[in-house]
Amino acid sequence: MRNVAIVVVVASLFASTAAVSVKHQRRWTEKIDAPLVHVAEQGSAEPVRAVIQVRAGATEQFMSHLVAQHGLTPTRTATANVIDVQMPGSMLRSVAADADVVRLSADEPSR
């Protein structure tokens, strides 16, 4: 009987971990525009120009993070809390999953 209880506890832990993981995966896809989801899932090293909307007050910190941790060159836009940056497509998923990111969109070619 004790072995059955241990098996149930371990199975419950695996199930809850899987549920949290799936929820996290859905969260990043909700922040990113559909055309970029495909690029992010491919993990391509090809550069992608993106517009990142961050939570209010996080612009400076997030820009510093992109420069220091990833060697990117983000620029501010005329809109508050919005950053324009060119990055490898393989970074889209991790950027979209960041807690400071509100929305990640493809930049318009005319920019």
Q: Which pLDDT does position 9 carry in this prediction?
A: 67
Q: Which pLDDT does position 3 carry in this prediction?
A: 79
Domain ranges of the chain: 2-106
Q: Enter the tokens of residue 26.
A: 């859905």
Each residue's pLDDT expressed in tens, for the chain with a length of 111 residues:
777 777 666 666 666 665 454 444 457 888 988 888 888 888 888 899 999 999 999 999 999 999 999 999 999 999 999 999 999 999 999 899 999 999 999 886 544
Measure the CA–CA gap between 96 and 49, rounded to whole angstroms: 14
Q: Which pLDDT does position 41 carry in this prediction?
A: 84
CA–centroid distance for 3 within its chain: 41
Q: What are phi and psi of 18, to 5 degrees?
A: -65, -40
Q: Which pLDDT does position 61 carry in this prediction?
A: 95
Q: Which pLDDT does position 2 carry in this prediction?
A: 78
Predicted TM-score (pTM) of the model is 0.70
Q: Which fold has domain 2-106?
A: Alpha-Beta Plaits (3.30.70)
Q: What is the 3-state secondary structure (H, E, C) of the chain?
A: CHHHHHHHHHHHHHHHHHHHHHHHHHHHHHHECHHHHHHHHHCCCCEEEEEEEECCCCHHHHHHHHHHHHCCCCEECCCCCEEEEEEEHHHHHHHHHCCCEEEEEECCCCC
Q: Which pLDDT does position 11 carry in this prediction?
A: 67
Q: Tokens 């070619």 identify what position?
A: 109
Q: Which pLDDT does position 111 carry in this prediction?
A: 42
